[in-house]
A and B are shown apart, each in its own frame.
Chain A
Amino acid sequence: QKEVEQNSGPLSVPEGAIASLNCTYSDRVSQSFFWYRQYSGKSPELIMSIYSNGDKEDGRFTAQLNKASQYVSLLIRDSQPSDSATYLCAVYRNYQLIWGAGTKLIIKP
């Protein structure tokens, strides 16, 4: 079992719809979780951090954390073609981030 798992996709979503990206993790004591966006050929960019159970909203993005079930998700409302990218989930552990392999999201105009 991988420490951080994501569906590799691609996930295809119509423009204007909600994109839902999921991530599960294996270390029950993990406390800090991050979502990054990576455009093709570019470096990862932090879009959300979440540390507590529940929802955290920032513009069109909502991160959801459920520590009991060990999953973290990212919702993107009103999806735009510019949201097409690979989304990486990362979990903090001992000075490092443990990375998922990423989910490729495609927004169809």
Chain B
Amino acid sequence: SQTIHQWPATLVQPVGSPLSLECTVEGTSNPNLYWYRQAAGRGLQLLFYSVGIGQISSEVPQNLSASRPQDRQFILSSKKLLLSDSGFYLCAWSGTGSQPQHFGDGTRLSIL
């Protein structure tokens, strides 16, 4: 069966520091991969998605970037975090076609 791993579970970072969140999927090949952010009490905001290695689509202009160096690895990065980057970051995967997405456990990011 397929599993998705996302770490760390919680992260506290100072303003202006860099960020790297990693997500890996097991048990499937060529998944579609997604990064979302969810502010407290709010809905899901799609940040990036990828349909293949090196293919990244950005949905929201911001100081975040994403990379997909391997088929089942998706990385979310920032060079300098802002206070507004605080939130719950979720990685998800789906199969090809109109398949549902399956989420990792998320990373709760607090910026001080």
Contact = CB atoms under 8 A, between A and B. Distances in A.
B44 interface: yes
A90 B34 CA distance: 15
A48 to B, nearest CB: 9
B100 interface: yes
Contacts of A99: 43-44
Given A32-B98, A92-B98, A97-B101, A44 B49 contact: no
Interface of B: 32, 34, 42-44, 46, 49, 51, 90, 98-106, 108
14 contacts: A31-B98, A32-B98, A41-B108, A43-B103, A44-B103, A46-B102, A88-B43, A92-B98, A95-B32, A95-B49, A97-B101, A99-B43, A99-B44, A102-B43
Interface string A71-109: 000000000000000001010100111011110000000
A34 interface: yes
A42 B32 CA distance: 22
Contact of A44 (B44, B46, B98): B44
Band of interface residues on A? 20 to 34
A49 interface: yes
